[in-house]
Amino acid sequence: MRGWGAAATARVVDNPINMPDESASARSRKRFVQLYAPAVGQLAGNLLMLQDVSSLKPGVWFDPFGGNAPLWSLSYEWWFYMMFFVLATRLQRSASSQKYVVFALSLTGCAIYQRFPNQLCLFLGYFLTWWAGAECAREYVDRGAVTWRRQSPTVLMLGLLCVAWTTGIVVAHHHGVHLRWGTAPILQVRHVGAALLLLTAGITWYKLRFPGFRFTFGPLAALGPVSYALYVLHYPVLAYLSAVTHVSSIARLLLAMALVLPLAYLLEVRAQPRINAWFSGLSSGRTRRVQPPQGEPLTAVMDSGTP
């Protein structure tokens, strides 16, 4: 090991003598590309909402920028909203069949991913987990209640999708792959299974009139206005404090909260409305109302083609 270190040091020291003649600007460009090109590519992938965690799933194209791992889910949320807009506008007159189209897309994504792992199929394969919430919201807005009768197809389809993702575990086990609880292919089954469990538990809790909600999730409503900023900011702040402080985990958490909460307030409550107003001023599109089929809520559509 010492020999390798000495050789590396000698190469660095001797490098200016043995290197070919080149200008300082050319050398700077080379170093810039070597150092920053990967980071620029990663940033571009995150700006395009294509990030995920490559250490947990095969087929991931870009990791979250700056190692901020929680940002992985933002890409899924973005593309789910985009796909929702397409389905909600293209299949307006058959809104009741939209969930079956989503189920077909998720099954297709799951099947293709098993053979050719890629990020697009991950988005598709998880789409139904998000759409399940949209179905609950749709029924509640439409009828003022959420019923097992109307949600049972979604519950069943989530169960079938979970089984479909389980085939990856069977195939991996057959080929002698060492399976780990926190990585693919078990991870996808965990995610879809959790969505199924939360959906059934949520409807059951709703039917029981949410006992205990006031003392559990109720107080968290105060964080609603800043929840997005909290999600985005908490990890880098905690990572920074872990690197520069030597205090207990509880003390570090309290310090992080003292830093993140005011910053989240400034970003979400103070800055974001101004940013929204600025973008609204740039947009010349007007909102028109589209009359949906009878029994379905109205959908607002921008003339400019944006949701």
Residue spans of the domains in the chain: they are 50-211, 219-277
Contact 192/109 with Cβ under 8 angstroms?
Answer: no
Query: What is the predicted pLDDT for the residue at 94?
Result: 84
Query: What is the predicted pLDDT for the residue at 32?
Result: 60
DSSP three-state, residue 118: coil
Q: How far lies 143's CA from each of 204, 276, 297, in Å?
A: 18, 32, 10
Residue appearing with tokens 């009139």: 209
Query: What is the predicted pLDDT for the residue at 301?
Result: 37
Nearest of 194, 108, 79, 103 to residue 154 by alpha carbon: 103
Express the helix, strand and coil content of the chain in percent, nearest 5 each: 75, 5, 20
Tokens linked to 80? 């789910």
Q: Is the four-CA dihedral 244, 247, 248, 250 of positive or negative sign?
A: negative
Long-range contacts of 81-85 (CB under 8 A, 24+ apart): 81/307, 82/307, 83/123, 83/127, 84/130, 84/131, 84/134, 85/307
d(CA 284, CA 169): 50
End-to-end CA distance of the chain: 58
d(CA 70, CA 115): 27
Q: Which residues, given as ranges, of the chain have pLDDT below 70?
A: 1-22, 24, 26-37, 284-307
How much is the pTM?
0.80
Nearest of 79, 97, 75, 76 to residue 88 by alpha carbon: 97
| 275-289 CB burial, b ≥16 within 10 A, e <16 | eeeeeeeeeeeeeee
Residue appearing with tokens 């079938």: 160
Query: What is the predicted pLDDT for the residue at 12?
Result: 41
| 130-162 CB burial, b ≥16 within 10 A, e <16 | bbbebbbebbeeeeeebeeebbeebeebbeebb
